[in-house]
Each structure stands twice: as C-alpha cells, then as structure tokens.
Amino acid sequence: MIGVDTLKGQIRKALSGFYYVYAEGQTFQTRARGNFRNRKITPLVGDEVMFESDNLTDGYLLEVFPRHNELVRPPVANVDQGVIVMSMVEPNFSFNLLDRFLVTLEDKGIEPIIYLTKIDLLTGTETVSVADVQHVYGTLYPVIAATSVSDEGAVHLLEQYFPERLTVFMGQSGAGKSTLLNKISPELQLATNEISESLGRGKHTTRHVELLPLFDGLVADTPGFSSIDFLEMEATELPKQFPEFVEASHLCKFRECMHRKEPGCEVKALVETGGIAQTRYDNYLQFLSEIENRKPMYRKK
C-alpha cells in the first residue's frame, strides 16, 4: 500500500470521467477535482499532470501542466508527430487534402510523416504517380510508400520514427489508417471497415483514445480526422505553414508578403520556375480564400 503521494505522470487513457495516469511504472485511475470545471480545464490524453493517490484506483488530478499543442480529433495533447495516411487509389490521391493535413499539423507544431498506401492497385492510368508525390513533398517531409498492406519494409521504416515521440495517425477516409495501426500493433485489433461503396468514404470506426507504448514511444490507438476546415487560423498565419514558402520569403520584397498580388515575391517567382510546386501554391491560394471568406465565429461567453 502506498501512502498519499503527490506524483507527476502522463494521462494515457480517458474513459467515462476517469483518467488513467502512468507514473513510476504503474497506472493510476484518477478523477479530476471539481474545480477543474470551474477553471474550464478539460484534461486530455497526453497531458502531463500532478495527481495525488494512496492506491491505484482512487487518485485525484491536481494540476494539468501547460501543453505544447492539442488536437480535437482525436482529443490528444502534446503530440510530436502525425502520420498522414493517403491512398493512391480507392479513394484517389488528393494533393488538396494532403496539404490540408500538412497545414493543420504545421500550425500545431507537429512533425508530419506522409504514408502512401494501395500502391499495388495503381494501373499507370492515374493522374498522380508515387513519383509525383515524392517530387512535391520528398524534400519537405518523410514520404514512405507502402507497396501493399503487408509491406513489412514500409512498416519497419515507419516504426523507426516512433522512439521517444507521441504519434497520432490521420488521413483520408478509407486509406487504411486502422489497417496500418493493426499491422504495427496487432493487439490493437481496431475495427477496420471497408469503404462504403455508396459514399466512397470510410465509415468512422473510432472510440475512446488510449496511448499505447510501442517501439519506445507512444501511439494514439485511434485514427484522427479525415477532413479539415481551417476554423481558427488567421490568414497571416497561413504562409508560415508552408516550409518552402518560409524559406523563400526572406527574399520577398515585402516582409509580410502574402505571396498573392505583391510585386517582388520570391514564392511566385519560384512557382514560375518550378522551384515550388504549382499544386502547393494553388492549394495555398484556395485555403487563403477559405480563411478570408469564412463566417466570423461568435464564441460563447
């Protein structure tokens, strides 16, 4: 039996009002103190916390430490990297959707890894090839191309990114996120659903979130969002989420260049010469207009 101790740990699972905190090699079942609600603090999986407990089942959270970042779907805090699972066919690869994921992760300070699936189903008649994707993103982010579901080499490459990091998975509906997670960790047995034929989209098969220790790191066992709108980002923040724009922008004539109509813009010059991919630039302009045209959000007091 342990005396009442104040301990520091990490929330690894949240379920039915209980928070399961990992500390000193053990998992403690805890609850949040009532004043958390008054202070508008909702503890999240991934949070570093202080808690008190005199046994493994009756602890209380005392404090949630400041977060580096947080995601809404899945609800996880302090994420280091995001694996974006994109299929080449069924559903077809989308530069626009991939850029949405990338911008969202960049905005949160989460390092992206691009994982391409269903390469074995390519017939050569598609508009986008693996080489095209590598060409656009290969210098910006890790790109792993899995020839098939059972591609051990691709999975092994991915696993090398896990040590000492908290990783979440996300990506296209029906691209095989759950299948990939099951491959990495068979004990997960995530519900994998076939793409619903009528919609051409994957069904949501997610449940509560748990962080699993895998390959000396932690992996959220629930795939995250499969579509994105930029609800909170300001227009001036958007150019900062494209690393190649950031690199070029110090040569732009204007310091706060939005790379749209300004003269002397290095980003536009690089798009002209092929130094920056046209698809990236087109998507940037589309996202910019989405942000500028969205309806104002009225936050409840």
We report the CATH number of the domain holding residue 202 as 3.40.50.300
Residue 174 annotated as part of some ligand binding site? yes
Residue 178 annotated as part of some ligand binding site? yes
Q: What is the model's pLDDT at position 200?
A: 44
Let me know: does 291 contact 238? Beta carbons within 8 Å: yes
Residue 32 annotated as part of some ligand binding site? no
Over residues 187-219, the pLDDT tens digits come to 666 655 444 444 444 444 445 788 999 999 999
Average pLDDT over residues 231-255: 94
Same-domain pairing of 103 and 166: yes
Residue 120 annotated as part of some ligand binding site? yes
Residue 300 annotated as part of some ligand binding site? no
Residue 176 annotated as part of some ligand binding site? yes
Residue 259 annotated as part of some ligand binding site? yes
Residues 6+ apart with CB under 8 A from 278: 271
Distance CA(44)–CA(96), nearest Å, equals 30
Same-domain pairing of 53 and 135: no
Count: domains in the chain = 3
Q: Which of 66, 81, 106 is the last residue of a domain?
A: 66
Residue 289 annotated as part of some ligand binding site? no
Asked whether the predicted pLDDT for residue 10 surpasses 60, the reply is yes
Same-domain pairing of 107 and 206: yes
Residue 252 annotated as part of some ligand binding site? yes
Residue 117 annotated as part of some ligand binding site? yes
Residue 26 annotated as part of some ligand binding site? no
Same-domain pairing of 62 and 24: yes
